[in-house]
Amino acid sequence: LVEEALHRRAGKPISIQAPVIKRSAGANPYDFLIVGAGFAGSVLAERLASSGKRVLICDRRPHIGGNAYDCQDAAGVLVHKYGPHIFHTNSEEIFAYLSRFTAWRPYEHRVLASVADKLLPMPINRTTLKGLYGIDLADEQAAAEYLKTKAEPTPEIRTSRDVVISQVGSHLYRTFFEGYTRKQWGLDPSELDKSVTARVPTRTSTDDRYFLDTYQAMPADGFTRMFENMLDHPNIQIEAGVDYNELDRKNLAPRTIFTGPIDAYFDHRFGPLPYRSLEFKHETHDREQFQPVAVVNYPSLDVPYTRITEYKHLTGQQHRQTSISYEFARAEGDPYYPIPRPENQALYKQYEALAREQNDVIFVGRLGTYKYYNMDQVVGQALATFRRFSATEQKLNGA
């Protein structure tokens, strides 16, 4: 087991000490074992610990935060190790909950797509159309009418291709979506559920923000610091760098919350659930700024990566150098994205049915419930899980 602080940034370190698990014969030292210290696991750890439960949370990675983990690179620039994470939500409850553990830096995300030697706003808006076609559409109505002439009638909108073609037609689809999606998912948009490209709807306005949510902000001192604050509780023991399968789970905790891949928990009994993986090439450059916005997308199949992220735009950090990452989608590697398509959903349903039969384990999170969830949705799911758990417990206690 890990002996020393694995995770150290400015301020208070998280200390992971051995021996972690003190057992007295036959007794469970913890009420809950939580597998995965991302949003799902950490929110539940915090809620359960605050309600008096003793929690052991482990993560196979040597740090907390899951995919939202950020850290300083060798140059001292704060980067997101697993790609750009921008917090956005319409839920006041979720924003208020997270605000207990962090102050915020207001930030509205903007993305440009590199197309025909130009950088054009994404999602497609009136400025995009002007930049691409040189047409000046006076207002929203003019843009809507223009797009209507391009849109192709699609009787049933089922796939990620249908969604785009039915709104903006083939040319814009091919220019902005087809190549990017093929790279990102290793599938044609026609093979993916409509919900995937529907995340980036076309606009008739000139609003060039990527998200329109009520709350859009970055944790003022980074995501990892927010997780440190969340998990800083005497009832929580953290085991980073420890895989669930390595733990001696006998008499450890009567209940488990599993936020890793659900198919892995069941030893892939029905076959592996498909996930998409990523690889990042991180670089530091000797100049203050690399690109005009945090993220530039590269929809062309001629470019091997999908996007370049420059982190200082997200964090507001002042530094004479700047760090970026190139993002390459991969078939093999750590699971990052569940792949939304009907056959995968059907396979997941088999695992979900099996999960329902277990009394001592609950599955939560993006990998645990095989859902293409944003951070706020995972927080909402974890809070709802806690509420259900509390209600059941109260009932059992006759309250």
Q: Is 196 in the site for ligand UDP (CB under 6 A)?
A: yes
Q: Is 373 in the site for ligand FAD (CB under 6 A)?
A: yes
Instruction: Find the binding residues for ligand FAD in span 27-46 (CB under 6 A).
Output: 35-41
Residue 279, both tokens: 């690889």
Partner in contact with 132, chosen from ligand FAD, ligand UDP, none, beta carbon below 5 to 8 Å by kind: none
Among 171, 199, 249, 349, binds ligand UDP (CB under 6 A): 199
Residue 244, both tokens: 């669930």
Alpha carbons within 13 A on the beta-carbon side of 143: 20
Residues whose CB falls within 8 Å of the CB of residue 399, separated by 6 or more in sequence, listed in order: none
Shortest separation between residue 218's beta carbon and ligand FAD, angstroms: 10
Q: Is 314 helix (H, G, I), strand (E, B) or coil?
A: helix
Partner in contact with 313, chosen from ligand UDP, ligand FAD, none, beta carbon below 5 to 8 Å by kind: none
- Evaluate whether 210 touches 86 at the Cβ level (below 8 Å): yes
Longest CA–CA span in the chain (Å) reads: 77
Q: What is the dihedral of CA 212, 217, 222, 227, to 10 degrees?
A: -80
Residues whose CB falls within 8 Å of the CB of residue 247, separated by 6 or more in sequence, listed in order: 33, 58, 239
Among 367, 370, 385, 389, binds ligand FAD (CB under 6 A): 367
Q: Is 381 in the site for ligand UDP (CB under 6 A)?
A: no
Q: Is 67 in the site for ligand FAD (CB under 6 A)?
A: yes
**Measured CA angle at 66 (ends 64, 70), to 5 deg:** 75
Cβ closest to ligand UDP, residue 30 vs residue 211: 211
For residue 279, the cross-strand partners are 328
Q: Is 94 in the site for ligand FAD (CB under 6 A)?
A: no
Cβ closest to ligand UDP, residue 255 vs residue 276: 276
Question: Crossing angle, helix 160-172 and helix 140-150, to 10 degrees?
Answer: 100
Cβ closest to ligand FAD, residue 94 vs residue 165: 94
- Evaluate whether 375 touches 43 at the Cβ level (below 8 Å): no
Residue 258, both tokens: 């599993």
Shortest separation between residue 265's beta carbon and ligand FAD, angstroms: 8
Instruction: Find the binding residues for ligand UDP in span 166-195 (CB under 6 A).
Output: 176-177, 180-181, 184
φ, ψ (nearest 5 deg) of residue 185: -110, -10
Interface mask toward ligand UDP for 121-160; x: CB under 6 A: -x--------------------------------------
Among 32, 244, 275, 298, binds ligand FAD (CB under 6 A): 244
Instruction: Find the binding residues for ligand FAD in span 118-177 (CB under 6 A).
Output: none
Q: What is the dihedral of CA 345, 267, 260, 366, to 10 degrees?
A: 0
Interface residue list for ligand FAD (CB under 6 A) = 35-41, 58-61, 66-68, 82-86, 243-245, 259-260, 278, 336, 365-367, 373-376, 378
Interface residue list for ligand UDP (CB under 6 A) = 113, 122, 176-177, 180-181, 184, 196-197, 199-200, 297, 299
